[in-house]
Amino acid sequence: MIPQPLADTHDVVFDVEHITLRFGGVVSLNDVSMQMRRGEILAVIGPNGAGKTSLFNVLTGVYTPQEGRVLLRGRPGDSPVSVIGKKTHVINRLGVARTFQNIRLFPALTAIENVKVAVETRQKAGPLAAMLGMPWQRKEERDSTAAAYALMRDVGLGERGNELASSLAYGEQRRLEIARALGTNPGVLLLDEPAAGTNPQEKRELAELISRINRERNISVLLIEHDMKLVMSVADRIIVLNFGGKIAEGTPEEIQRNPAVVAAYLGTSAEDAARQATDQPELHLIDTQLEPPPTDEERSGD
Ligand SMILES: Nc1ncnc2c1ncn2[C@@H]1O[C@H](COP(=O)(O)OP(=O)(O)OP(=O)(O)O)[C@@H](O)[C@H]1O
Ligand SMILES: [Mg+2]
């Protein structure tokens, strides 16, 4: 028997190599390489316009980069497939689910219907079977309703299933988006600013929910988030983008001490940031205080 190498490459969920994405003269991602490991919570942070959402859009097939390569192993045991050129629904079927920076629910559907739509993308009955009310279709309908309710309870919305999605409070809508994403049975979940516009209590609950999804469902989580307290409390590793480039990568402790990261956030040089961190440790980092609560305008923007 041929001995197996120790490093198990199957542990890599996303293998991103030298991605460059341009819009005319704007370089949204500049030669970015990264690996996401199976089972980890990996945070992507960086100032506004750094390229975080662009990275998500490349990973989910919304944007096609001009250069680079992305390999995906969506669920444990999957063979690697190239993401480039694939449509978003195909990438979703390969095990990648996401939520959006600006919430995208079906506002005129109830909360439970929003989740059922996602669950049913995984089922076999087509529209004809549904129309004819075939027995197996009716069973699938019952199954999808039960699965959707279980997901709703899981994200703490057990009592809200029959409310219109649009009538839910802001923090509840964010959790409903997570339930809907889970409905497609992903191996990896991409969350784009899930805590934006939520209050401190909701942020704590969200941190707990993200950790629980990761642990209990064995779902790898890629998390974009501006709230550093939340990021530092849940992330195993952090990648930092600035002006489209990756400027740092490491554990939360390493990132907090990294002068280039602090400089990127404070808009100063790395040397000034390092000096400031020594002189005024209370100012050091990327403190949550640096991030003002979003205005209503920001909430509705992408
Ligand atoms: N579809 C697009 N067309 C033109 N430029 C774009 C497009 N998408 C992104 N960009 C540009 O790419 C850059 C990175 O944007 P991106 O949305 O990825 O940043 P971000 O890190 O998510 O920022 P934020 O924290 O504000 O959400 C910005 O300069 C943005 O204007
Ligand atoms: Mg963004």
3-class DSSP state of 262: helix
Alpha-carbon distance values, 135 to 123, 139, 140 (Å): 14, 6, 9
Ligand 1: which residue has its CA nearest to atom 13? Answer: 28
65 lines ligand 1 (CB under 6 A): no
List helix spans (H) across the chain: 52-59, 88-93, 111-120, 127-132, 135-154, 170-182, 200-216, 228-234, 252-256, 259-266, 270-279, 296-300
- Judge if 130 and 196 occupy the same domain: no
Mutate to test the pocket of ligand 1, among 45, 48, 53 (most ligand atoms within 8 A of CB): 53
* Single-letter residue type at 203: K
- Judge if 88 and 235 occupy the same domain: yes
Ligand 1: which residue has its CA nearest to atom 19? Answer: 49
- Judge if 112 and 78 occupy the same domain: no
Domain count for the chain:
2
Averaged over successive runs of 10 residues, the pLDDT of the chain (302 residues) comes to: 51 97 96 97 95 98 97 95 96 96 92 93 66 70 89 95 94 95 96 94 95 96 94 96 96 90 75 65 45 52 50
Residue 298 pLDDT: 54
Mutate to test the pocket of ligand 1, among 21, 22, 23 (most ligand atoms within 8 A of CB): 23
Span from the CA of 101 to the centroid of ligand 2 (angstroms): 6
Span from the CA of 126 to the centroid of ligand 2 (angstroms): 35
Residue 72 sits in a domain whose CATH number is: 3.40.50.300
- Judge if 128 and 200 occupy the same domain: no
Residue 147 pLDDT: 93
Residue 202 pLDDT: 93
From 185, 200, 220, give the residue that closes a domain.
185
- Helices and strands per DSSP (H, E), number in the chain: 12, 10
Q: Is residue 42 assigned to a domain?
A: yes
Span from the CA of 99 to the centroid of ligand 2 (angstroms): 12
- Judge if 207 and 85 occupy the same domain: yes
23 lines ligand 1 (CB under 6 A): yes
Q: Determine the atom of ligand 1 nearest the C-alpha atom of 21.
A: 12
Residue 259 pLDDT: 87
- Judge if 85 and 191 occupy the same domain: yes
Domain span at 131: 106-185
Residue 264 pLDDT: 82
